[in-house]
Amino acid sequence: MNDKLQQLFNERGPIKTIGVIGMGYVGIPAAVLFADAPEFDLVYGFQRDSPSSGYKINMLNSGESPLKGEEPGLEDLIATVVGEKKFECTADFSKVAECDAVTLAIQTPFENPKDLIPDFTPLIDGIRNVGRYLTPGSLVVLESTITPGTTTGMARDILEEESGLVAGEDFGLAHAPERVMVGRLLKNIREHDRIVGGIDDVSTRRACELYGPVLTKGILIPMSATAAEVTKTAENTFRDLQIAAVNELALYCEAMGINVYDVRTGVDSLKGEGITRAILWPGAGVGGHCLTKDTYHLERGVSVVAAEPLDYPEGRESLFVLARGINDFMPAHMLHLAESALRQIGKPIAGAKIALLGWAFLNDSDDARNTPAEPFYRTARAAGAEVRIHDPWVDPETAPDVPEGADITHDLEAVLSGADAVVIFAGHKEYRALVPAAVKALCGCSHPVLVDGRNVADPDAWIAEGFVYKGIGRGDKNRHPVGE
């Protein structure tokens, strides 16, 4: 038990002034929920006054949310806490010196998705800014998703270097990973259980004091900082693993000529008494900024936090990385399905016109980060196909990583007109409503191809209309005779 730090916390008294670094989709709801708690007096939202995001400062101080999309209750809460003068957004990092606790909610994207190395630069800048103004008896909490070992390693080193103070003696340090999802930010922070991991017990307890007041349904789950980092990366790694397992099952079912959804129903029927199988849904691939990267944070972590040599089956690849490989194979499988169907109607992939429906990585969402449709688009184009992209939810102007020459349009008729193959990558409600006869008329050929990556189409209806149907996991339908 480090008495000095506990002594400093006791002298400082309960946390009253809080700083939140990074006014993004994690920092903003976190800051206003702290501000709304009667236990706290004032919250500073720290935001660099940069050309790309400095605009948030004035917006927030006017009580407006700079976040896109619907976030129930957020705009009202911002206006309330600004009106009560309990929240202030600022670019003046020297105000960190007034804070009893500072949290950092700065994103850690990949520099280049291909090499899977995270770009910690923005986070490091934030940590440096905090270190410069850190005072004895304060608490620092990292909320960003980070490689296990970062809190007790890089973050601790930078804070100590910049402040001249010692973590665990002069200030507390913890990791409390965010678990928010766009569209339900306030609800998630209030209701999800909160993992709180300090570099020592005193830091953990102080961090519990910070997060306890904002939880309604959620409970605090204290642990070590490294265990908290592993928890966050593992919870997404396990989801990715579950998806990979059902994707592999779908590939097997195609090869065995059976319907994966029958098998899924069967497996899923084992419920309760701890025997539930938690089987998820096969699909055209896995996108987003969580599941596509957190496995690699975990994998890196096990080499960074090498408490002792890892004992693992000789020559075997990590199960988790293999799962990533299976999920990343699904867009390629979608292309194989398209090629196979086009061959059945005597059309090579080269020169084929493909209507790619769905650029977003989630159904009925505008979020296209790391979309599995992108590798499909790239490889289909490389094979000589002409690919036109439709997505009614995605704003072509702001969609990330749209390949050179790719246009995303909201004009479905234009994308379907003259298409040899229609390939569905997102399960948007618009695609569930597609009428086979209408689509066929637009395609303008007797046997267009339909490749269903999200199980939104009824195979029999499309086959009856003359389509060559291929569906993920639909081994029972993928070899149907092509109508005359």
Decide if residue 110 touches ligand SAJ (CB under 6 A).
no
Q: Are 19 and 46 in contact (CB under 8 A)?
A: yes
Please identify, using beta-carbon distances, which residue of 18 and 286 lies nearer to ligand SAJ.
286
Decide if residue 196 touches ligand SAJ (CB under 6 A).
no
Decide if residue 362 touches ligand SAJ (CB under 6 A).
yes
Amino acid at 386: E
Buried b (16+ CB within 10 A) or exposed e, 138-154: bbbbbbbbbbbbbbbbb
Q: In angstroms, what is the minimal distance from the CB of 370 to ligand SAJ?
A: 8
Decide if residue 428 touches ligand SAJ (CB under 6 A).
no
Decide if residue 281 touches ligand SAJ (CB under 6 A).
yes
**Diameter of the chain measured on Cα atoms:** 85
Kindly tell me which residue out of 180, 251, 298, 422 binds ligand SAJ, with binding defined by CB under 6 A. Answer: 180
Please identify, using beta-carbon distances, which residue of 56 and 324 lies nearer to ligand SAJ.
324
Decide if residue 264 touches ligand SAJ (CB under 6 A).
no
Decide if residue 195 touches ligand SAJ (CB under 6 A).
no
Candidate ranges 18-26, 255-263, 283-291, 384-392; the one touching ligand SAJ (CB under 6 A): 283-291
Please identify, using beta-carbon distances, which residue of 252 and 281 lies nearer to ligand SAJ.
281
For the purposes of burial, counting CB atoms within 10 Å of the CB of 18, is it exposed (0-12), middle (13-18) or buried (19 or more)?
buried
Q: Is 290 a catalytic residue?
A: yes
Residue with the CB atom nearest ligand SAJ in the bound state: 288
Kindly tell me which residue out of 118, 288, 473, 475 binds ligand SAJ, with binding defined by CB under 6 A. Answer: 288
Q: In angstroms, what is the minimal distance from the CB of 164 to ligand SAJ?
A: 35
Instruction: Give the active site residue among 56, 232, 347, 470.
Output: 232
Instruction: Give the active site residue among 99, 290, 293, 347.
Output: 290
Kindly tell me which residue out of 86, 156, 175, 179 binds ligand SAJ, with binding defined by CB under 6 A. Answer: 179
Decide if residue 447 touches ligand SAJ (CB under 6 A).
no
Please identify, using beta-carbon distances, which residue of 222 and 372 lies nearer to ligand SAJ.
372
Q: In angstroms, what is the minimal distance from the CB of 141 to ligand SAJ?
A: 17
Candidate ranges 14-22, 25-33, 286-294, 394-402; the one touching ligand SAJ (CB under 6 A): 286-294
Please identify, using beta-carbon distances, which residue of 361 and 467 lies nearer to ligand SAJ.
361
Q: In angstroms, what is the minimal distance from the CB of 61 to ligand SAJ?
A: 28
Decide if residue 239 touches ligand SAJ (CB under 6 A).
yes
Helix axes 373-382, 319-344, angle to 10 degrees: 50
Decide if residue 278 touches ligand SAJ (CB under 6 A).
no
Q: Is 89 a catalytic residue?
A: no
Please identify, using beta-carbon distances, which residue of 203 and 236 lies nearer to ligand SAJ.
236
Please identify, using beta-carbon distances, which residue of 48 and 454 lies nearer to ligand SAJ.
454
Q: In angstroms, what is the minimal distance from the CB of 32 to ligand SAJ?
A: 19
Site for ligand SAJ in 198-227 (CB under 6 A): none
**Cα→Cα distances 244→34, 117, 142, 280, 392, Å:** 38, 22, 30, 9, 28
CA atoms of 157 and 153, how far apart (whole Å): 6
Structural tokens at position 155 = 């973050």
CA 221, 222, 227, 233 dihedral sign is positive
CA atoms of 67 and 32, how far apart (whole Å): 14
Decide if residue 293 touches ligand SAJ (CB under 6 A).
no
Query: Which parts of this chain interact with ligand SAJ (CB under 6 A)?
Result: 179-181, 235-236, 239, 243, 280-281, 283, 286-288, 290-291, 361-362
- List, by residue number, the catalytic residues: 232, 290
